Amino acid sequence: MDITPTTLLPLTLMGYVLGCAAGLLFLRHEKLANLCSFGCATLAALCGTVACVMSLTAGPAAAPIQLQLLPTLIPYVQFTVRLDPLSAFFGLIVSLLGFALSLYSLGYARGFYGRKNVGVLGAFFNLLLLATTLVVMADNAFFFLMVWEIMALSAYCLVSFEHEKPETRSAGVLYFVMSHIGTGCIMLGFLLLFQASGRVLGNYGPDAYSFAGFHALTGNVSWLSSGSRDAAFLLFLIGFGVKAGIVPLHTWLPAAHPVAPSNVSAFMSGVLIKTGIYGMTRVFFDFLGTPPMWWGVTVLSIGTISAVLGVLYALMQHDLKRLLAYHSIENIGIILMGFGASLMFLHMNHPLLATLALIAGLYHTINHAVFKGLLFLGAGAVLHATHTRDMEQMGGLAKRMPQTAFFFLVGAVAISALPPLNGFVSEWLTYQSLLQGFGTTDSLLRLMFPIGGALLALTSALAAACFVKAFGITFLAQPRSEAAAQAHEAPLTMLLAQAVLVAACVFLGLFPTVFLQVLDPLTQQLTGLQISQQLTLANGLVLSGVNQNGGTVSTLGITLLGLCLLSIPFVLWLVFARRAKTRIGPTWDCGLKGLTPRMEYTATGFSKPIRMIFKALFRPRREVQREYDFSPYFTTSIRFEAHVEEVFETRIYRPLNRWVLWASRRMRALQAGSLQAYLIYIFITLLLLLLFAL
């Protein structure tokens, strides 16, 4: 049998189905359920990764792969998948992270033995992988919505896996409600596209719901009125924005990510929220045609606000997984900054800059999936060893978990956009697109580009500060609790999964030009240009912008230079100090008798300067409780608590929740229990529908 995407894709989907069935079949045999369900997921995701890579490397001239999964059993629903370059790119993200997380789960799930049903975890995890893969490959609006809902429901079940905890139940319900609000907006947006595609095709049959029919609108935007296009844009922005976690639709994300199992948290942050990015890319660049200027301005503004607020709130967190969740909001904002700039460039008829900005956003999409998945896996290993998410109870883990500490450090460097790792490359491309956009127009809107670039620089600096805090407080100094002192290294499969993602971070950082050549079919599909012809110089070793006066960079060159400089101290040691005696002494303690954990920097103390600078946003408050012995001058204990206000929750969602409850209580009067009243309701509804139809 030839190994082609056409043969590997069915194996991928079948592997997830078998993994789901194995988890349910071995519900009472937790070890067997763990091995079979996550083993099947690992092999299936590996097949999916190979299939997507082969599809992308086939070149721009290769025809998309289309498969019929099931016969047409329901009118208008065609169970077909289509592996075009955009689907292959996002399928690569799903499969690569799915492979690493499934491998990780083989060791991580052992922590649930005797406490929770591992078979249920494996079944829903496979179902989530299957549904997410089908979401990015569905070729029909109805089929897309079906698998979209399966994805949402399986994610809800996984978020609520430890449902005996009140915070877990609350987070699951919040995710469920927000997800269905987004789904409602997506459904209305597809109905608008269906009306227009039916006019273009001359019929309202099943083809009008296919993505091919929606794609036909790109060259026939006259069939979709300006008001309908704008309404569709807003509906899809809200619908997919809920899933992506953009501000102010982000409230479910910092609630759901911390309480879910760590392998699920990594998938949700690395992959699930990227389905929102996939939906925006598919609709904005593949269906709706040339955008008006305000679309790009809106997306760029939302992206900038999400990036800045996400990193600011992340700095205030002491829960390690909640900190990482807020950083997902930040990175989604960075992705949307590239998308917004690209939409603005398309309106101004600058396809080269539009391609640069789009590829910057897409490159950051896969980069964020890799390094955020790595960080969540590291956080999961820490939680597995210490049984706490509170950084104030950690410390000293670098000696007890050296491999995990190293892997987490790599992820921290990558997410801080420091060279030569992958986060630096995508943010550098975003800077280039924003700075080169200043001269594209004479209107005041051109100020959006340098302002966006400046705020992106602020975001990167704050992200670096945040991960100095996260790594330092968690892994350095002395243990602050007995659990941290007794911590142990993670099992082998958990370490191997992190090593896979570290390798991906290094490859995407050192060889960006190689990866950009793979993305030629993607940019050819979306903008009509091949990105590698615009961004590579010097035999593919140097990355440059589309403007000759723009910047250039070579992460591989930076790495080689760094290795040469690092060899100098080693040579000096060989020459002058090889035979010198080495003395090991105590850590310098400022002349005190000995260092204790009480002398260490705390997460609260580290972030206090930022909290004071942005106190208008955080509205900090603190409580100090003292206990005395005989006199106020003899304090026996002091309890200090500091709180910051999450503005969107307290100022928007809580008042909205109160209003909804008030309105629902008033609407109880409609449920009078009278048959005559219900007949009147039906009559009025039919009358309004007839008037609307006329």
Helices assigned H by DSSP within 287-401: 293-315, 320-347, 351-386, 397-400
- Do 533 and 397 reside in the same domain of the chain? yes
Which two three-digit tokens encode residue 360?
């910057």
What would the pLDDT profile of 224-250 be if each residue is shown by its tens digit?
778 888 999 999 999 999 999 999 999
- Do 370 and 405 reside in the same domain of the chain? yes
What would the pLDDT profile of 466-524 be if each residue is shown by its tens digit?
999 999 999 998 888 888 989 999 999 999 999 999 999 999 999 988 888 888 889 88
In the structure, what pLDDT confidence band is assigned to residue 548 with cuts at 50, 70 and 90? low
Question: Strand, coil or helix: what is 557?
Answer: helix
229: in domain: no
What is the per-residue pLDDT for 25?
Answer: 92
Distance CA 96, CA 112 (A): 25
- Do 558 and 640 reside in the same domain of the chain? no
What would the pLDDT profile of 372-403 be if each residue is shown by its tens digit?
999 999 999 999 999 999 898 998 899 999 99
What is the per-residue pLDDT for 79?
Answer: 85
- Do 523 and 632 reside in the same domain of the chain? no
- Do 373 and 484 reside in the same domain of the chain? yes
Give me the number of domains the chain comprises: 3
Distance CA 527, CA 509 (A): 25
What is the per-residue pLDDT for 252?
Answer: 92
97: in domain: no
69: in domain: no
Query: Which residue, among 196, 255, 24, has the nearest Cα to 126 in the 3D structure?
Result: 24
What strands lie across the sheet with 536-537, from one edge to the other?
Answer: 536-537, 542-544, 552-553
Question: Which are the contacts of 681, defined by CB distance < 8 A and separation ≥ 6?
Answer: 670
Looking at this protein, which amino acid is placed at residue 691? L
pLDDT at 1 over 70: no
674: in domain: yes
What is the per-residue pLDDT for 157?
Answer: 94
- Do 495 and 633 reside in the same domain of the chain? no
Distance CA 314, CA 326 (A): 5
Q: ∠423-428-434 over CA atoms, to 5°?
A: 130
Left (φ > 0), alpha (ψ -120 to 50) or beta: where does 487 sit? beta
- Do 442 and 463 reside in the same domain of the chain? yes
Query: Which residue, among 103, 119, 114, has the nearest Cα to 46 in the 3D structure?
Result: 103
What is the per-residue pLDDT for 547?
Answer: 66
pLDDT at 537 over 60: no
- Do 669 and 536 reside in the same domain of the chain? no
The answer to whether residues 407 and 382 touch, using CB atoms and an 8 Å cutoff, is: no
Q: What separation, in Å, do the N-terminal and C-terminal C-alpha atoms of the chain show? A: 59
100: in domain: no
User: How far are the Cα atoms of 117, 127, 264, 334, 437 from residue 158, in angstroms, in the given order?
Assistant: 12, 10, 7, 28, 43
Which two three-digit tokens encode residue 183?
């789904």
What would the pLDDT profile of 251-295 be if each residue is shown by its tens digit?
999 999 999 999 999 999 999 999 999 999 999 998 888 899 999
| Lowest-pLDDT range of 89-98, 129-138, 445-454, 493-502 | 445-454
Phi then psi dihedrals of residue 589, to 5 deg: -125, 30
Query: Which residue, among 358, 349, 352, has the nearest Cα to 441 in the 3D structure?
Result: 349
Question: Strand, coil or helix: what is 623?
Answer: strand
pLDDT at 538 over 60: no
Distance CA 205, CA 72 (A): 13
What does the mean pLDDT of the chain come to? 88
- Do 408 and 529 reside in the same domain of the chain? yes
Which two three-digit tokens encode residue 505?
């971070």
In the structure, what pLDDT confidence band is assigned to residue 677 with cuts at 50, 70 and 90? confident
- Do 689 and 661 reside in the same domain of the chain? yes
- Do 688 and 640 reside in the same domain of the chain? no
What is the per-residue pLDDT for 330?
Answer: 94
What is the per-residue pLDDT for 543?
Answer: 79
- Do 490 and 639 reside in the same domain of the chain? no
The answer to whether residues 41 and 102 touch, using CB atoms and an 8 Å cutoff, is: yes
Can the peptide bond before residue 351 be classed as cis, meaning omega within 30 degrees of 0? no
pLDDT at 539 over 60: no
Q: Whole domain around residue 673: which residue ranges?
A: 651-693
Distance CA 394, CA 388 (A): 8
23: in domain: no
Which two three-digit tokens encode residue 91?
């399928």
408: in domain: yes
What is the per-residue pLDDT for 654?
Answer: 86
Distance CA 657, CA 649 (A): 10
What would the pLDDT profile of 32-85 be if each residue is shown by its tens digit?
999 999 999 999 999 999 999 999 988 777 778 888 887 777 777 788 899 999
What would the pLDDT profile of 646-655 be if each residue is shown by its tens digit?
888 888 888 8
Can the peptide bond before residue 248 be classed as cis, meaning omega within 30 degrees of 0? yes
Q: ∠118-122-127 over CA atoms, to 5°?
A: 150
374: in domain: yes
Which residues in 479-620 belong to E strands, given as ranges? 536-537, 542-544, 552-553
